[in-house]
Amino acid sequence: MTDIGFYHLSRTPLEQALPQLMQKVLDSGARAVIRTESGERAEFLSNLLWTADQGSFLAHGTARDGDAEEQPLWITPDEENPNSAGILVLVDGAEASDLAGFERCLDLFDGRNAASLSAARRRWAQCRDAGHSLTYWQQTPRGGWEKKAG
């Protein structure tokens, strides 16, 4: 079973939280696949990771860049793991039927959007019913993360 963390964005948008979380992934020596809903969104997130912090470098790539096996972070709309990542990051409501291929999954959702929140609750129930280990993280007032359940 996969360890799945649900990350409730309540203080900052995904565009601010994702680079910080991906820096932690890279600092740990892990690799991640970031799954979004479209190729256009994958390219947007790629540009975001290039410009998020002038003082750091988040090595990553998309299908346009190629050489997936060399990228510690791979951004895609597809169910794939071409960089042999241990972590799957779901954003923009993306879902996964291939969780068994990952040790850990981070499901980031916008808690300020009713549809996003409802969809996250549905995914939580599905993952719980499938027997995955779940944790729930909520943003603190300063933008950090506090474990609330699991």
Q: What is the CATH number of the domain that holds 109?
A: 3.40.50.10110
First to last CA, the chain: 15
Sheet with 32-35, strands from edge to edge, namely: 73-76, 32-35, 87-90, 104-110, 3-9, 133-139, 145-149
Range of the domain at 88: 3-149
pLDDT digits (tens, 9 = 90+) for 8-17: 999 999 999 9
What token pair was written down for 125? 């129930």
The Cα–Cα gap between 64 and 39 comes to 9
Q: Per-residue pLDDT for 54 more than 80?
A: no
Q: Which residues pair with 135 in a beta bridge?
A: 5
Taking the model in full, what pTM does it have?
A: 0.94
Domain count, the chain: 1
The Cα–Cα gap between 117 and 11 comes to 14
CB 25 within 8 A of CB 73: yes
For residue 55, the model assigns a pLDDT of 73
The confidence band for 142, taking pLDDT boundaries of 50, 70 and 90, is confident
